[in-house]
């Protein structure tokens, strides 16, 4: 679940690990972006997305959104666990800072400088020099598939990124969909997203005693309503990878 197509990165990562997995993609296009909303509003919308997904009896729920994880994870876990494992998304600061050096965290303006992110830096920064880089408009540009706006937002964020950074943390799930463009804008820096780790954690929570093979289907819920995968999702490799003969 996510406000929009940022969930594609985690969904594609699950599909790589479990090609047979049946996926339910639940998002809130009527309410996105979530970043500028109040904590209570984000929590309410995240619960609505989760309830819509839960009707399909999933084996785990991935909160594929940094903003929702910050504001809504306790409420989601209170509502659904232990029956439904809930896995949040945390910026990959720990692996990015593991070797020290200089690290940049690209995130939404609402997350940049927040107590939440500063706490993660203090806990997992490993003494690295960390620069927080706000990326206004980047998530919206990714969501709409506006390549010119993506390029402009990436260029602006790259200009705020210190030269010679060793690692860039992608602190919004939407950013992972344009990782190639970010890498080109910050040459020499390794990129650290969360999707692979989140997918692996979700499958660990299900455990070896989890369900048998599925058929690789996807079901898309837009504000709780069944729908097709949005056209802009197919413009990204992660979205295209989910379209199989079974899903078609």
Considering the candidates 65, 86, 168, 179, report the single residue annotated as catalytic: 65
Domain that holds residue 227: 5-89+196-241
In a domain, 67, yes or no: yes
Note whether 83 and 206 are same-domain residues: yes
pLDDT tens digits, 178-192: 999 999 999 999 999
pLDDT for position 43: 94
Note whether 128 and 187 are same-domain residues: yes
Concerning whether 135 is annotated as a catalytic residue, the answer is: no
pLDDT for position 213: 63
pLDDT tens digits, 122-154: 999 998 999 999 999 999 999 999 999 999 999
Question: How many domains would you assign to the chain?
Answer: 2
Considering the candidates 47, 63, 153, 172, report the single residue annotated as catalytic: 172
In a domain, 110, yes or no: yes
In a domain, 146, yes or no: yes
φ/ψ of 2, rounded to 5, equals -165, 170
Percent of the chain at pLDDT > 90 equals: 77
The CATH code of the domain that includes 148 is 3.40.50.1860
d(CA 93, CA 198): 14
d(CA 175, CA 109): 13
Q: Is the pTM higher than 0.85?
A: yes
Note whether 103 and 181 are same-domain residues: yes
Concerning whether 172 is annotated as a catalytic residue, the answer is: yes
In a domain, 246, yes or no: no
């Amino acid at each position: 679940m996510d406000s929009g197509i940022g969930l594609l990165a985690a969904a594609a990562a699950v599909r790589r690990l479990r090609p047979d997995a049946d996926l339910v993609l639940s998002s809130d296009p009527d309410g996105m972006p979530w970043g500028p909303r109040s904590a209570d509003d984000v929590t309410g919308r995240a619960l609505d997305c989760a309830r819509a997904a839960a009707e399909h009896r999933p084996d785990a729920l991935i909160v594929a959104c940094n903003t929702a994880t910050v504001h809504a994870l306790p409420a989601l876990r209170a509502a659904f666990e232990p029956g439904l494992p809930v896995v949040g998304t945390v910026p990959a600061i720990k692996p990015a800072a593991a070797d020290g050096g200089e690290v940049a965290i690209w995130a939404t303006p609402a997350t940049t400088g927040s107590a939440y992110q500063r706490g993660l830096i203090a806990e997992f920064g490993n003494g690295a020099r960390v620069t927080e880089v706000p990326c206004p408009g980047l998530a919206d540009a990714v969501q709409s598939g506006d390549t010119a706006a993506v390029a402009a937002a990436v260029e602006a964020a790259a200009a705020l990124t210190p030269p010679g950074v060793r690692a860039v943390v992608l602190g919004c799930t939407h950013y992972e969909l344009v990782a190639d463009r970010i890498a080109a804008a910050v040459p020499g820096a390794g990129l650290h997203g969360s999707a692979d780790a989140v997918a692996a954690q979700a499958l660990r929570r299900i455990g070896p005693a989890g369900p048998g093979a599925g058929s690789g289907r996807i079901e898309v819920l837009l504000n709780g309503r069944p729908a097709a995968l949005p056209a802009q999702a197919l413009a990204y490799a992660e979205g295209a990878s989910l379209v199989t003969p079974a899903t078609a």
